[in-house]
Chain A
């Protein structure tokens, strides 16, 4: 095989059989890995806000007493603040990520680093949000006065059985959430990250 002959044909190849248009400056969405993740994040943010609204409606309809409404409102507010903060952070993060004018190695390295960092932040955000969500559901479904300390003859009495039940429930739900979250991350980012890591490994391979 003579590459020099091929080079001549390569130079002379005007690609006339390819009908690709480039007459205007492109606008709209890109379909790069980073853009796809950004799009998924946007959808997830909208979904979370919708879940919040449903949660509030559900709690208003099933509130046991004023104490439950008070505590649940605070928890929902905290959760909302957390969600808005993290998603705004993700938005800023992905807006600046993916610089394509660096060398291939540097650019891929940066994208992998930023994706991995953001995955970790996303993981932490979900681990922090989960206990709040569990508390909101418990407070919405149960009578809080049955669990929290009661003043009996001047002394606080904690209902240990209820508390123990909540702890067990939280541990079980955290374990389930751990597996579900990892599965979700693997499905959402896994393929892209694995492919980019393969390219990086290939570039790092010494002769």
Chain B
């Protein structure tokens, strides 16, 4: 393995959570998630020479990963995997809060599947703690536009979760 390959894989390993989450929010099926991950990794590798270190590796990775996820088209219509929502009624009291958050996150992942591709990118970057300015730079829109769209997307998500029969 060359030094370049080793460096690349090391950086990917450090940020693999980002890639897993992008795959999960853009594809609802395990096979499609796997295909998308391979596609993102390949595009990251092919574009690796364009990363000059002017920005953070994660910022560069967001761009390549989102662009790949947006132009990625499924091979054929596959069955949608609905992530099972675990029950936490039988757990000890002290674990309820942790378990509750886990359950809410599963519901959140299911609800995100109903957003469009741009809304998915917006909510992902928001959840990753990116600032409005950073989100605007990655998406190529103005920060004020980000603010408005983000509020709309959050409302939409709340509505979707409500229609799914949950409220938290």
Give the shortest distance, in Å, between A113 (CB) and chain B (any CB): 14
Chain A neighbourhood of B42, CB < 8 A: 26-28, 30
- Chain B interface: which of A48-56, A86-94, A98-106? A98-106
Chain A residue nearest to B83 in the complex (CB): A17
State the CA gap A199–B145 with chains docked (Å): 15
Chain B neighbourhood of A1, CB < 8 A: 157-158, 161, 167-168
Identify A100's interface contact among B17, B30, B43, B128, CB under 8 A: B43
Q: Which residues 65-107 in A have Cβ within 8 Å of B in the complex?
A: 98-107
Identify A9's interface contact among B20, B101, B144, CB under 8 A: B101
State the CA gap A207–B138 with chains docked (Å): 17
What range describes how many residues of A lie at the interface? 35 or more
Give the shortest distance, in Å, between A203 (CB) and chain B (any CB): 6
Q: Once the chains bind, are A30 and B104 in contact (CB under 8 Å)?
A: no
Which of A28, A104, A106, A203 has the most chain B CB atoms inside 10 A of its CB?
A: A104
Q: Once the chains bind, are A31 and B35 in contact (CB under 8 Å)?
A: yes
Q: Is A192 an interface residue (CB 8 A)?
A: yes
State the CA gap A20–B35 with chains docked (Å): 10
Q: Once the chains bind, are B73 and A36 in contact (CB under 8 Å)?
A: yes
Q: Once the chains bind, are A195 and B104 in contact (CB under 8 Å)?
A: no
State the CA gap A7–B128 with chains docked (Å): 8
Chain A neighbourhood of B165, CB < 8 A: none
Identify B102's interface contact among A9, A27, A100, CB under 8 A: A9
- Known interface pairs A9-B104, A10-B105, A33-B73; A101-B118 also in contact (CB < 8 Å): no
Q: Once the chains bind, are A15 and B21 in contact (CB under 8 Å)?
A: yes
Give the shortest distance, in Å, between A56 (CB) and chain B (any CB): 37
Q: Once the chains bind, are B71 and A98 in contact (CB under 8 Å)?
A: yes
Identify B47's interface contact among A24, A100, A103, CB under 8 A: A100
Q: Is A136 an interface residue (CB 8 A)?
A: no
- Known interface pairs A7-B129, A100-B47, A199-B118; A18-B23 also in contact (CB < 8 Å): yes
Q: Is B68 an interface residue (CB 8 A)?
A: yes
Chain A residue nearest to B146 in the complex (CB): A207
Q: Once the chains bind, are A30 and B43 in contact (CB under 8 Å)?
A: yes
Q: Which residues 96-111 in B have Cβ within 8 Å of A in the complex?
A: 101-102, 104-105, 108
Q: Is B140 an interface residue (CB 8 A)?
A: yes
Chain B neighbourhood of A12, CB < 8 A: 101
State the CA gap A198–B60 with chains docked (Å): 24
- Known interface pairs A1-B158, A99-B47, A199-B117; A20-B139 also in contact (CB < 8 Å): no
State the CA gap A15–B139 with chains docked (Å): 25
Q: Once the chains bind, are A34 and B71 in contact (CB under 8 Å)?
A: yes
Q: Once the chains bind, are A18 and B127 in contact (CB under 8 Å)?
A: no
Chain B residue nearest to A207 in the complex (CB): B148
- Known interface pairs A20-B20, A20-B34, A199-B118; A108-B67 also in contact (CB < 8 Å): yes
Known contacts A32-B39, A32-B68, then 11 further A-B pairs from the complex at CB < 8 Å, ordered by chain A residue: A3-B154, A15-B17, A18-B23, A20-B19, A22-B19, A25-B8, A25-B45, A100-B64, A100-B68, A106-B140, A203-B118
**27 A-B residue contacts at CB 8 Å?**
A1-B157, A1-B167, A3-B154, A7-B127, A9-B101, A11-B129, A13-B17, A13-B105, A14-B17, A18-B20, A22-B37, A27-B42, A30-B43, A31-B72, A36-B73, A99-B47, A101-B60, A103-B139, A104-B118, A104-B121, A108-B70, A195-B73, A196-B71, A199-B116, A202-B116, A203-B140, A207-B148
Binding site for B on A (CB under 8 A): 1-3, 5-15, 18, 20, 22-28, 30-34, 36, 98-108, 111, 191-192, 195-196, 198-199, 202-203, 206-207
